A and B are shown apart, each in its own frame.
Chain A
Amino acid sequence: KAGVTQTPRYLIKTRGQQVTLSCSPISGHRSVSWYQQTPGQGLQFLFEYFSETQRNKGNFPGRFSGRQFSNSRSEMNVSTLELGDSALYLCASSIGQGETFFGQGTRLTVV
């Protein structure tokens, strides 16, 4: 069965712009979570959704938002991009809080 799919894989944006990243979970998985990975901070939790409801949110500013659709697909949005938002953004899906499967990530570069 298909894994977790993230699009796009690479993205270059300019400071001040906004960006939307997409994640399609494994079929049947209703829980989707997002993470940011940078060389300095490592992996950090952004938010978690289950059945279209945000279940948890990490310690990130309000510029970072997300949503989940009825088909479990999820998007995250970052507005007013800053240079420090350059990172690898990873999405993961699971059945509830069970084994977690990660996508390949979207590498965002803000210039």
Chain B
Amino acid sequence: KNEVEQSPQNLTAQEGEFITINCSYSVGISALHWLQQHPGGGIVSLFMLSSGKKKHGRLIATINIQEKHSSLHITASHPRDSAVYICAVRGADGLTFGKGTHLIIQP
């Protein structure tokens, strides 16, 4: 069974700061997802990665398959980025999720 560790659990930053959220997993995977969840429950898939790096607007996600590690970066953070960010890995037994990183961006 895959173990997924996210850090930090909680992060408060000022508007404009560069944000990094990390995710490590224990067993080989076929893909890694970064998800965003706002209060109220709705989940949005931000990225799906199996190698390398992806960028979408101010968000960048990277994955290192050899080190079993992924990072999500937010550049020029904004209060609307405040949400829970969840890492999920796809293995043979479906998706396994991290506990999430609760991000607050203060104006």
Query: Residues of A at under 8 Å CB distance from B?
Result: 33, 35, 37, 42-45, 47-48, 56, 58, 88, 90, 92, 97-102, 104-105, 107
9 inter-chain pairs at a CB distance below 8 angstroms, sorted by A residue, are: A33-B95, A42-B97, A42-B99, A45-B93, A56-B93, A88-B41, A97-B90, A99-B45, A102-B42
Main secondary structure, interface of B, reads: strand
Are the CB atoms of A90 and B43 closer together than 8 Å? yes
Q: What are the 5 tightest A-B residue pairs by CB atom distance, in nearest-first order? A: A43-B97, A102-B43, A56-B94, A45-B94, A105-B41
Report the minimum CB–CB distance from B32 to chain A (whole Å): 12
Report the minimum CB–CB distance from A77 to chain B (whole Å): 19
Are the CB atoms of B96 and A100 closer together than 8 Å? no
Which residues in chain B, 55-86, are within 8 Å of chain A measured between CB atoms?
A: 86
Once A104-B41, A105-B41 are accepted as A-B contacts, the answer to whether A99 and B48 lie under 8 Å apart by CB is: yes
Contact partners of B33 in chain A: CB under 8 A: 100
